[in-house]
Amino acid sequence: MPMRMPDPDQDVLSRRAEIIAALRRIVPGEGVIAEEEELRAYECDGLTAYRQLPMIVVLPETTAQVSEILKYCHGGGIKIVPRGAGTSLSGGALPLEDGITLGLGKFNRILDIDYDNRCVTAQPGVTNLAITTAVAGDGFYYAPDPSSQIACSIGGNVAENSGGVHCLKYGLTANNLLGVEMVLMDGEVVRLGGKHLDSGGYDLLGIVTGSEGLLGVITEVTVRILRSPSTARALLIGFPSSESAGDCVAAIIGAGIIPGGMEMMDRPAIHAAEAFVNAGYPMDAEALLIVELDGPAVEVDELIGRVETIARENGAQSVRVSTNEDERNNFWAGRKAAFPAVGRISPDYYCMDGTIPRHRLSEVLTRMTELSGQYGLRVANVFHAGDGNLHPLILYDANTPGELEKAEEFGADILKLCVEVGGVLTGEHGVGVEKRDLMGEMFTEIDLDQQQRVKCAFDPTQQLNPGKVFPTLHRCAELGRVHIRSGQTRFPDIPRF
Amino acid sequence: MAEKFTPGTAEETRAIVADALAAETPLAIEGGGTRQLIGRPLETQYSLSTSALAGVSLYEPEELVLRAGPGTPMSQIRMQLDQHGQMLAFEPPDYGPLIGADADTGTLGGIIAGNLAGPRRIKAGAARDHFLGVDAVSGRGELFKSGGRVVKNVTGYDLCKLLAGSWGTLGVMTDITVKVLPAPEKTRTVLVACEEPSEAVAAMTAALSSPHDVSAAAWLPRTVAAQSSVSYVAGAGTPLAALRVEGIGTSVDARCASLRDELAAFGNVEELHSHNSMAFWEEIRDVRAFADDGGDTSLWRISVPPADAARLLDRLHTGIEMEAFMDWGGGLIWARVARMEDAGSYVIRRTMGAAGGHATLIRGNLHQRIREPVFHPEPAPVARLTRNIKEAFDPKGILNPGRMYAGV
């Protein structure tokens, strides 16, 4: 699958042997990978449709080494692609032919658990789940929980501003991040934030979160941990239409209830999941809602009752309430296995990630069904219903010539539809290379230029992860130019320069 | 100040800034005008007020979203949200009386530009965490947008994060979209008599580490407690730690009961119910104890790792004459410093040292605001990024130049 990337620098490619030697001086031992066989493992991330062998892979172990590598590459005009666990679904870690993939996998230690300040400091290669595991015994957890939490790294979570099923109530990574240590492209090490709240100056930590590895290489992360809720219970609610399910979601929030999780599945997703895990989902439902309430037991019990009433008022066909942990986990089992379940009924699937204003849901689903007919490809929907984040899974067969391209076109149409109804291209998976060329659907040239100037503020030579996020790469000098139009009349008494 | 522009549309705003850019004339950007008193003083001949960029253009309670012009008075937003039992969960404060301005004159734009937040910051986040989308005019005279109207969005760089807390130095916002949340049905406060800041921090840490979902935690020394309008607090005659519990009635009752039991070891325990509880936290939110009384005191807002707060307070008390209370479980110290040439800047910043955090001079006289770093000094590589960001948005220094840092 071709994807337009920056032209490889022939000069850099011709210096490959010399670059390898220099990297080996910085990272001794087996930390520099140059054999094709071994490079193969790094040719793609979670977006497997795009592959590119990196020029070299380097796996440093210390911040000092990262700094040395970047300093060396900065001087030598060599591009860097940072990589966490490689689980990105948008191609954020897609290598460059003339670039060094800098893997943070060896940064895998938790450095500090600080209960008094309710935070954990970890190296970026530590997995999301490992942070929760480290503090769970003491009754704490880290709230953002992307589906890939067993594998994805906390550094990658920062780069992508990852979400998860709990983010309506507990926020995305950005809302749970306190500080980072990060290395800039010129090798300078900076600390943003710490164990305190907010920034005294510009919120650089905020802009770095979700910057997709274009601003710096993160070498340390401090996140807030929360006390685990004492109880969690879930409702499994079947509806005769996605419209009534959508109305129910609106009514729950309208009643002042913010559930810990609120997930919706459409009929194809329900059937695929049920066939896979036998969770006891209602097979006659057109839409299924899982609503989880967490907090003190007395609160959860009362809210369960309120949600059940609201569900029945909104036309629920079936309502089941979990009475123990096994049952609750069982409700979730189908939802959590939705992607592999769909993988069983189709050779391949392509996962989309748009967000829409919730009240446009049934309209979007209707138009998606039309598009599905038009493209001749089936689609199953799972949906973070509370925050409007849709994950349509387009089913296709990569072995059928032209079908991947068709799936991608279908996907692009879905995302354009999301933008058209007032939503956005990506809710939590990131732009990467995947949605890069769709950015113009949401932003004007002026909007994108302003975003790129932020990139230039951190990396004026544009060597960090180029070719991601922005559809057109402008040189920083060009972006920095000030365009002044003459004809001003408001400031007549001011001498002009 | 000679002339004030008051554009009524985004396009007018853009045209004014573009003209100012062409004439290389800096503009002071103001909302309600009150927050203008915070920061380094500006010397501009012209100002641009966002007061006519006002009004709520979209409010969908069930979608948890509200969009309004930056000049929209906070009082208006609060009223509209009240009607639907909703709120801005970050508890926007009113600093007007702190800096010698009237109460209740703040605007949405001012709150966002200062990235302000009240006691619920520890649970719900600051303004930045609720700021979903923006239209703004950069110092390049260009109208740009970022973010959107949905709560979950990672499309492109989140320029909202930079605009929040940039005090009008990066862009003039013309349209603001924020996330709103349901207001709690009930609120109660558990008070614990804690003589020493260290005991108070320990009590607050215990409460915030409990599963009782505490939404605010503050400590007041005797002198500050005595000024409260809540008679029990004023008459307690002792320093008090205060822990707020919010939510549905049955849950609040149960959690308060558990908290009282768990905190009894720290000191005598009492409870404030709905009206008193709300009044109490409004006082904390707006820092009423340290309102400008015309005396020559200065006021600092100091954000630190909460567990360091007591130690820091002790050291500050030995270095300067001041009165202070803690919010955010110790993570926020409000310190009123008695008359000092440098407002206490040197001692405060030196004492904070490497422990991390930042101190902002919220109220100081003109001399202090010119001479002392009002915003916390940044290490050289971070300061370089700050300058680069300013350059990216406002290369000619048209928007509030120098308000945060010299040359930025």
SS in 3 state form for chain A?
CCCCCCCCCHHHHHCHHHHHHHHHHHCCCCCEECCHHHHHHHCCCCCCCCCCCCCEEECCCCHHHHHHHHHHHHHHCCEEEEECCCCCCCCCCCCCCCEEEEECCCCCCEEEEECCCCEEEECCCCEHHHHHHHHHCCCEECCCCCCCCCCCEHHHHHHHCCCCCCHHHHCCHHHHEEEEEEECCCCCEEEEECCCCCCCCCCHHHHHCCCCCCCCEEEEEEEECEECCCEEEEEEEEECCHHHHHHHHHHHHHCCCCCCEEEEEEHHHHHHHHHHHCCCCCCCCCEEEEEEEEECHHHHHHHHHHHHHHHHHCCCCEEEECCCHHHHHHHHHHHHCHHHHHHHHCCEEEECCCECCHHHHHHHHHHHHHHHHHHCCCEEEEEECCCCEEEEEEEECCCCCCHHHHHHHHHHHHHHHHHHCCCECCCCCCCCCCCHHHHHHHCCHHHHHHHHHHHHHHCCCCCECCCCCCCCCCCHHHHHCCCCCCCCCCCCCCCCC
**pTM for the full model?**
0.96
Retrieve residue A283's tokens: 């097979």
Residue B177 sits in the same domain as residue B208? no
The chain B residue lying nearest A167, using CA atoms, is B152
Answer yes or no: is pLDDT of B199 > 50: yes
Q: Do A346-430 and A231-339 have the same topology in CATH?
A: yes
Residue B257 sits in the same domain as residue B299? no
Residue B5 sits in the same domain as residue B145? yes
| Cβ contact B153–A163 (<8 Å) | no
| Cβ contact B211–A296 (<8 Å) | yes
Q: Compare CB distances from A210 to B121, B158, B250 and report the shortest one's residue.
A: B158
**pLDDT number for residue A497:** 39
Residue B51 sits in the same domain as residue B179? yes
Question: Which residues are bridge partners to A179 per DSSP?
Answer: A193, A222
CB contacts, 8 Å: A194 with chain B: 305, 356-357
Architecture of the domain whose range is A110-227: 2-Layer Sandwich (3.30)
Q: Compare CB distances from A451 to B115, B140, B157 and report the shortest one's residue.
A: B157
Q: Compare CB distances from A497 to B24, B144, B212 and report the shortest one's residue.
A: B24
Domain with B34 in it: 1-183+378-408
CATH of residue B225's domain is 3.30.70.2190
Check CB contact of B407 with chain A, cutoff 8 Å. Answer: no
| Cβ contact B21–A388 (<8 Å) | no
Query: Cα(A374)–Cα(A19) distance, rounded to whole angstroms?
Result: 50
The chain A residue lying nearest B166, using CA atoms, is A202
CA distance B231 to chain A (A): 31
Answer yes or no: is pLDDT of B347 > 50: yes
| Cβ contact A189–B157 (<8 Å) | no
Check CB contact of B42 with chain A, cutoff 8 Å. Answer: no
**pLDDT number for residue A3:** 75
| Cβ contact B138–A485 (<8 Å) | no
Give the mean model confidence (pLDDT) for residues A272-300: 95
**pLDDT number for residue A484:** 83
CA distance A130 to chain B (A): 20
The total of structural domains in chain B comes to 3
Residue B206 sits in the same domain as residue B140? no
**pLDDT number for residue A496:** 43
Q: Compare CB distances from B149 to A171, A203, A422 and report the shortest one's residue.
A: A422
CB contacts, 8 Å: B117 with chain A: 198
Q: Which residue has tokens 């279908």?
A: A410
Percent of chain A with pLDDT over 90: 89
CB contacts, 8 Å: A423 with chain B: 148, 150
Task: Answer for the pair A160, A430: CB distance below 8 angstroms, yes or no.
Answer: yes
CB contacts, 8 Å: B304 with chain A: 196
**pLDDT number for residue A493:** 60
CB contacts, 8 Å: A486 with chain B: 22
* CATH 3.30.1330.60 describes domain A346-430: no
CB contacts, 8 Å: B66 with chain A: none
What's at A250, amino acid-wise? A
Which strand (E) or helix (H) includes residue B10? helix B10-22
Percent of chain B with pLDDT over 90: 92
Residue B293 sits in the same domain as residue B272? no
CA distance A341 to chain B (A): 25
| Cβ contact B182–A486 (<8 Å) | no
CATH of residue B40's domain is 3.30.465.10
Check CB contact of B197 with chain A, cutoff 8 Å. Answer: no
CB contacts, 8 Å: A480 with chain B: 391-392, 395
Answer yes or no: is pLDDT of A342 > 70: yes
Go through chain B and tell me how many residues it has: 408
Looking at chain B from residue 217 to 256, which residues have their Cβ under 8 Å from any Cβ of chain A?
247-248, 250-251, 254-255
Residue B317 sits in the same domain as residue B368? yes
Average pLDDT, chain B: 95
| Cβ contact A298–B250 (<8 Å) | yes
Q: Which residue has tokens 């202070």?
A: B324
For residue A373, how many other CB atoms are within 10 A of its CB? 10
Fold of the A231-339 domain: Alpha-Beta Plaits (3.30.70)
Residue B10 sits in the same domain as residue B66? yes
pLDDT, one tens digit per residue, over A104-120 is: 999 999 999 999 999 99
CATH of residue B312's domain is 3.30.70.2740
**pLDDT number for residue A487:** 60
In this structure, the dihedral spanned by the alpha carbons of residues B246, B249, B253 and B259, taken in order and rounded to 10 degrees, is: -20
Architecture of the domain whose range is A10-103: 2-Layer Sandwich (3.30)
Q: Compare CB distances from A490 to B19, B117, B182 and report the shortest one's residue.
A: B19
| Cβ contact A428–B209 (<8 Å) | no
The secondary structure of residue B152, as a DSSP letter, is -
Higher-pLDDT residue of A497 and B238 is B238
CB contacts, 8 Å: A484 with chain B: 18, 21-22, 141
Interface size A-B, in CB pairs within 8 Å, comes to 308
Q: Which of B82, B143, B157, B304 should we substitute to test contact with A (largest number of A Cβ atoms within 10 Å)?
A: B157
| Cβ contact B142–A488 (<8 Å) | no
Give the mean model confidence (pLDDT) for residues B223-252: 96
Q: Which of A135, A197, A442 should we substitute to test contact with B (largest number of B Cβ atoms within 10 Å)?
A: A197
Q: Computed from CA positions of residues A6, B386, B48, B46, in that sequence, does the dihedral angle turn out positive or negative?
A: negative
Residue B221 sits in the same domain as residue B250? yes
pLDDT, one tens digit per residue, over B207-232 is: 999 999 999 999 999 999 999 999 99
Domain coordinates in residue numbering, chain A: 10-103, 110-227, 231-339, 346-430
For residue A315, how many other CB atoms are within 10 A of its CB? 14
Answer yes or no: is pLDDT of B1 > 60: no
Query: Cα(B368)–Cα(B349) distance, rounded to whole angstroms?
Result: 15
| Cβ contact B305–A490 (<8 Å) | no
For residue A210, how many other CB atoms are within 10 A of its CB? 26
| Cβ contact B211–A496 (<8 Å) | no
Q: Which pLDDT band holds residue A132 (cuts at 50, 70, 90)?
A: very high
CB contacts, 8 Å: A160 with chain B: 154
Residue B89 sits in the same domain as residue B169? yes
ipTM confidence: 0.97
| Cβ contact B149–A486 (<8 Å) | no
Give the mean model confidence (pLDDT) for residues B39-49: 92
Answer yes or no: is pLDDT of B34 > 70: no
Strand duo B3-5 + B46-49: pairing? parallel
CB contacts, 8 Å: B306 with chain A: 116-118, 195
Residue B92 sits in the same domain as residue B214? no
Residue B80 sits in the same domain as residue B128? yes
Q: Going by C-beta distance under 8 Å and a sequence separation of 6 or more, which residues neighbour residue A381?
A: A264, A265, A266, A268, A269, A365, A368, A390, A391, A392, A393
Average pLDDT, chain A: 94
Answer yes or no: is pLDDT of A486 > 80: no
| Cβ contact B129–A458 (<8 Å) | no
Q: Compare CB distances from A195 to B151, B157, B305 and report the shortest one's residue.
A: B305
